[in-house]
Copies of this chain bind each other. A is one copy, B any other.
Amino acid sequence: MSDDTATKILLSESEMPTSWYNIVPDLPSPPPPVLHPGTLQPVGPDDLAPLFPMALIEQEATTERYVTIPEEVQSVYRLWRPSPLYRAHRLEKALGTPAKIYYKYEGVSPAGSHKPNTAVPQAYYNASAGIRRLTTETGAGQWGTALAFAAAQFGLECEIWQVRASYDQKPYRKLMIETFGGTIHPSPSDLTASGRKVLADDPDSPGSLGIAISEAVEVAAQHPDTNYALGSVLNHVLLHQTVIGEEALLQLAKVGAVPDVIVGCTGGGSNFAGLAFPFLREKLAGKMAPVIRAVEPASCPSLTQGTYAYDFGDTAGMTPLMKMHTLGHDFIPDPIHAGGLRYHGMAPLISHVYELGLMEAVAKTQRECFEAGVTFARAEGIIPAPEPTHALAACIEEALRCKETGEAKTILTALCGHGHLDLPAYGKFLSGELEDHSLSEDAVAAALTRLPTVYG
């Protein structure tokens, strides 16, 4: 069989990368420091120690190019990694494009997305530090599922606060978390002071990610045997996700392909960075020259419409200040189905890379994205999660541009999860009930007036 007829490009387990890649030392300038909200001085390890184990705090600030993946983590990774890289022969044919489309599929993981790539090492490092319980928040539920599974691998308890609106609307996610052994509460809950405060004001509060973070952090901060875990945005999370791109590099090399365009969806940014950063390393080294393109929802366009400024990571304003592309920490995105992309800010490291001009960004509305998702599903047999339909919409746009120009570009896209638990959204799209949400300049301007003031 020639390379051109292969559908799946697989790596053996012995070819699985044994290190994560840290892009910081390869960038022309270092990213701005994270600041303490009180002193406005750079945060140190001690500031983070109540919530995270020292191994993760070190990874957050490391300037080493590579970080070894512990064997205990590799052992769990082998349940689904190396993940497959697909050549989308049938999609190419359906589109009639001369482009060659490859997609790296993370839906084979226990949670059905890329999230376990970081949940597993986070659980491992916490267990190694003697922690007995992890708390976290979850919106749509992918991250909560991943952490529940990962905690079970290392004998940790896992307690999850899920935004009540999602808790009520997506019962399958709650059941998946419980099947993996996690405990899940709707947020706001009466289990925490911050939850009780919200409920006192509004007993029917639908909750928000900001409130759920407050509850999870409060419980972790109060119990020495309990830590908090975050599923995106932070440097160590992006670091863990680079296993995606490292594998994709090896897989493309097996078939002699070099990407001209790389597209991925961005919410907090960890899936995008995971695929793109190893290729950016190659680009910075002059070994290839791909266009690297982030795709964000038009309803939450932090890169394309936000500003680059210091802001809080959470809605309540309790976290350290991070310099990032933001729509304002109290910005509440419209309720699109790509819940994983509804975050007001972009990972500081991606924001920095964007400012350096090393990548570009576009925004897509959800109907175009679901249309791409249906086209993809019928051709390739995988129903994508709403989040990666954004990447697929941009991928199909590029492939159709190739059809016009006759260029046989090589496109690589991140298919970061399946949509089995998101089928009601497909139902709405197919019945014509799905709405588009865009963001007016006025709405952006209003949100940005509430940014924190930072000197210097």
Residues of A at the B interface (CB closer than 8 Å) are 1, 6-8, 10, 12-14, 75, 78-80, 90, 108-110, 112, 116, 149, 152-153, 171-172, 174-176, 178-181, 374, 377-378, 380-383, 418, 420-421, 423-424, 426-427, 430
Complex Cα–Cα for A186 and B10 (A): 41
Residue of B with least CB distance to A86: B79
Please state if B430 and A179 are interface contacts (CB–CB under 8 Å): yes
26 A-B residue pairings within 8 Å (CB atoms): A7-B13, A7-B79, A8-B13, A10-B12, A79-B380, A79-B381, A90-B153, A110-B381, A110-B382, A149-B381, A152-B378, A171-B424, A172-B423, A172-B424, A175-B423, A175-B424, A175-B426, A175-B430, A176-B383, A178-B427, A179-B423, A179-B426, A179-B430, A180-B378, A181-B378, A420-B420
Residue of B with least CB distance to A10: B10
Additional pairs, 20, CB under 8 Å, beyond known A7-B79, A175-B426, A180-B378: A1-B14, A6-B13, A6-B78, A7-B75, A8-B13, A79-B90, A79-B381, A109-B381, A110-B381, A112-B420, A152-B378, A172-B172, A174-B427, A175-B427, A176-B383, A176-B420, A178-B426, A179-B383, A179-B426, A418-B420
Complex Cα–Cα for A6 and B13 (A): 7
Please state if A374 and B179 are interface contacts (CB–CB under 8 Å): yes
Complex Cα–Cα for A116 and B382 (A): 13
A78, A149, A382, most chain B CB atoms within 10 A: A78
A112, A179, A377, A427, most chain B CB atoms within 10 A: A179
Residue of B with least CB distance to A89: B75
Q: In the assembled complex, which residues on chain B have CB atoms less than 8 Å from the CB atom of A180?
A: 377-378
Across the A-B interface, the 10 shortest Cβ-Cβ residue pairs: A110-B381, A175-B423, A7-B78, A420-B420, A175-B427, A172-B423, A1-B14, A79-B381, A179-B426, A152-B378
SS of A interface (majority): helix
Complex Cα–Cα for A423 and B174 (A): 9
A155 to chain B, nearest CB (A): 11
Residue of B with least CB distance to A427: B175
Q: In the assembled complex, which residues on chain B have CB atoms less than 8 Å from the CB atom of A149?
A: 378, 381
Complex Cα–Cα for A6 and B11 (A): 13
Q: In the assembled complex, which residues on chain B have CB atoms less than 8 Å from the CB atom of A116?
A: 381
Complex Cα–Cα for A179 and B389 (A): 14
Complex Cα–Cα for A374 and B177 (A): 11
Complex Cα–Cα for A108 and B171 (A): 23
Complex Cα–Cα for A79 and B78 (A): 21
Q: In the assembled complex, which residues on chain B have CB atoms less than 8 Å from the CB atom of A423?
A: 171-172, 175-176, 179
Complex Cα–Cα for A346 and B116 (A): 40
Complex Cα–Cα for A382 and B418 (A): 14
A94 to chain B, nearest CB (A): 10
Q: In the assembled complex, which residues on chain B have CB atoms less than 8 Å from the CB atom of A12?
A: 10
Q: In the assembled complex, which residues on chain B have CB atoms less than 8 Å from the CB atom of A153?
A: 90
Complex Cα–Cα for A443 and B282 (A): 70
A229 to chain B, nearest CB (A): 18
Complex Cα–Cα for A172 and B422 (A): 9
Q: In the assembled complex, which residues on chain B have CB atoms less than 8 Å from the CB atom of A6?
A: 13, 78
A147 to chain B, nearest CB (A): 13
Q: In the assembled complex, which residues on chain B have CB atoms less than 8 Å from the CB atom of A78?
A: 6-8
Complex Cα–Cα for A418 and B172 (A): 14
Residue of B with least CB distance to A11: B10
Residue of B with least CB distance to A377: B179
A376 to chain B, nearest CB (A): 10
Q: In the assembled complex, which residues on chain B have CB atoms less than 8 Å from the CB atom of A380?
A: 79
Q: In the assembled complex, which residues on chain B have CB atoms less than 8 Å from the CB atom of A10?
A: 10, 12
A179 to chain B, nearest CB (A): 5
